[in-house]
Chains A and B, each alone.
Chain A
Amino acid sequence: MWYLSDWFYVVLTIVVFAFLYLILKGIESFER
């Protein structure tokens, strides 16, 4: 059974990794 908190942590994980990915994209655009 999937609880609401499980979805919270899945989304939180994705959000933090998305933030890290944005850092990478920012550096890429800065390098260009």
Chain B
Amino acid sequence: MNSTLAGWLQFLFLFAALAACYIPLGNYIAHIFTDKKHWRVERGIYKLTGIDPDADMRWTVYVRSILAFSLVAVLFVYLIERTQHWLFWSVGMANVAPDTAWNTAVSFTTNTNWQNYAGEATMGYLTQQGALMVQQFFSAAVGLAVAIAMIRGFTRSRTDRLGNFWVDVTRGIIRLLIPIAVVGAIILMAGGVIENLANYHTITTLAGGHQTIPGGTVASQEVIKDLGNNGGGWLNTNSAHPFENPNPFTNIFEIFLLLLIPFATPRAFGKMVGDNKQGYALVAAMVIIWAAAVGGISLFEAHLGTAGAGPQLAHGAYEGVETRFGPPGCSLFAGSTTVTSTGAVNCFHDSLTPFGGGIALFDIALGEIAPGGIGAGMYGILVLAMVTVFVAGLMVGRTPEYIGKKIRPAEMKYASLYFLTLPVVILTMAAIAIGTQWGQSAIFNPGPHGLTEIVYAYASQANNNGSAFAGLGTAAPFYQITGGITMLLGRFAPEIFALGLAGSLARQAPTPASAGTLDTRTPLFVGMLVGVILILVGLTYFPALALGVFAEGLH
């Protein structure tokens, strides 16, 4: 079978599988966060940790809880990494160096999973399982909790309470992530992904050389790596390694996992606000952008005369591509991992064609909203939907209302702060890197590609994606420190503004729809939403894309 055709059949299969899960999983997510009863195991956790599960939090208290929880998490992971050699299950690994330990602790706490290290050569089993994998569950649950609190801003009125952060996180982990992760890990193991606690084995090859074979509980981390849109692999080459991703079946299953919850969350939104069509409108915008991303990368990676003689002769851009999956499998994975905030990779993004890599960068710059990271995609697209309603109100004279809530100056200020934060952080950090010797000395590919590598690195970290154009020496202390700060600001500042917006919405009385209300359930609104998203991002990043991607691609 033609490999391009096989790639598109995989896309259609994925689409069908995700569509089949949309209603049941979305309804289940809505049920999890509206259920009045606590499970016994949850009550046990609340009792053990001294949490009052019935306390309803103001949005500011919700934010404080997130910040406190994440601060402790960063310091805890850092401590484990710095002392792993003296702890059990170190597999002989030395203590992680301070700069790498800090960057990694921040990275896994913020759901980014940017990795300045090779997992199998740096992290012991305790660190991988007890620190990094735990954060993969926690950070995903935090993102989902923020999305749920944001949705409550629409469903509640005349209150400043958005729910209980600790209850939301606990339920997200116990009722959603762990059950799917257990089933998913078994499926991955059946597909050939390794799962053991064996020490590394040194073997003699047929040529007489020696090779060290790593072990590890890879399947159980692989599943939450994808399901929680984390992306941090056990092994250095991530999903290009046969121990993490042995065959086309596990490849398609991993892509399915990373898209599963983000694509189902709009259904939970529709269910919770009592209008399922609102969920359909948002998911339609997400699907359009996802399909365009995959289609665009596939187009350029299939060469079509844009990538030079080599790729044309090979019928595809094969450099940096795992031959088990080929350019179509790489394109589907790259498009899906960059429109979510996952960052897992099954091919080398630095080797993508200039425009193929440019689309991956553009996907990340969208702010991870199509469908975005777990929870983060939902609250991101809700903010942009409100901006769209506001713009539409200005253009066609409709009253700016969304789901029965008015979009007033206060809401627009929060929305503006939300979508301005990431470009400010990304472009400022990139400018510092380009303008200083510390940043320049780590550029291995000078010229337009080097600029793209730097912008990609900060865009990936700020948007909590974690994938990399690896031709940049980000293990240098300058990039470790600025990258860590970028991840923290890129994760938590938008969450503060999103929750502030939710608090402002929750305080409002509901506004009944009138003849002047824009119907946000129509294809027209979906088209406007996609247009606003593309224009906002396109205008914001155009200079960086022009000097990097376009200059390289058109050269």
Interface residues of A (CB under 8 A from B): 3, 5-6, 8-10, 12-14, 16-17, 19-21, 23-24, 27-28, 31
Contact = CB atoms under 8 A, between A and B. Distances in A.
Given A23-B493, A28-B60, A13 B481 contact: no
A9 B98 contact: yes
Interface of B: 60, 63-64, 67, 70-71, 74-75, 78, 82, 98-99, 101-102, 106, 481, 484-485, 488-489, 492-493, 496, 500
Contacts of B63: 24
Given A13-B74, A27-B500, 20 more contacts: A9-B78, A9-B99, A9-B102, A10-B75, A12-B102, A12-B484, A12-B485, A13-B71, A13-B75, A13-B78, A16-B485, A17-B67, A17-B71, A19-B489, A20-B493, A21-B64, A23-B493, A23-B496, A24-B496, A27-B496
Contacts of B496: 20, 23-24, 27
B59 to A, nearest CB: 10
10 contacts: A5-B98, A9-B99, A10-B78, A12-B481, A12-B485, A17-B71, A20-B488, A20-B496, A24-B63, A27-B500
Contacts of A19: 489
Contacts of B485: 12, 16
A16 B489 contact: yes
Nearest to A19: B489
A2 B174 CA distance: 36
Contacts of A9: 78, 98-99, 101-102
Contacts of B70: 17
Contact of B71 (A3, A8, A14): A14
Given A16-B488, A23-B493, A24-B63, A5 B99 contact: yes
Contacts, number: 51
A30 B63 CA distance: 16
A21 B132 CA distance: 25
A15 B75 CA distance: 13
B158 to A, nearest CB: 16
Nearest to A4: B98
Contacts of B102: 9, 12-13
Contact of B82 (A6, A21, A31): A6
A12 B105 CA distance: 13
B82 A17 contact: no
Contacts of B64: 21, 24
Q: Which 10 A-B pairs have the closest CB atoms?
A: A5-B98, A9-B102, A17-B71, A16-B488, A20-B492, A13-B74, A24-B63, A27-B500, A24-B496, A6-B98
Nearest to A23: B496
A14 B64 CA distance: 14
B437 to A, nearest CB: 21
A20 B98 CA distance: 23
A29 B469 CA distance: 41
A8 B97 CA distance: 13
B452 to A, nearest CB: 27
A28 B78 CA distance: 31
Contacts of B492: 20
Contacts of A23: 493, 496
Nearest to A27: B500
B499 to A, nearest CB: 9
Contacts of A8: 98
A23 to B, nearest CB: 6
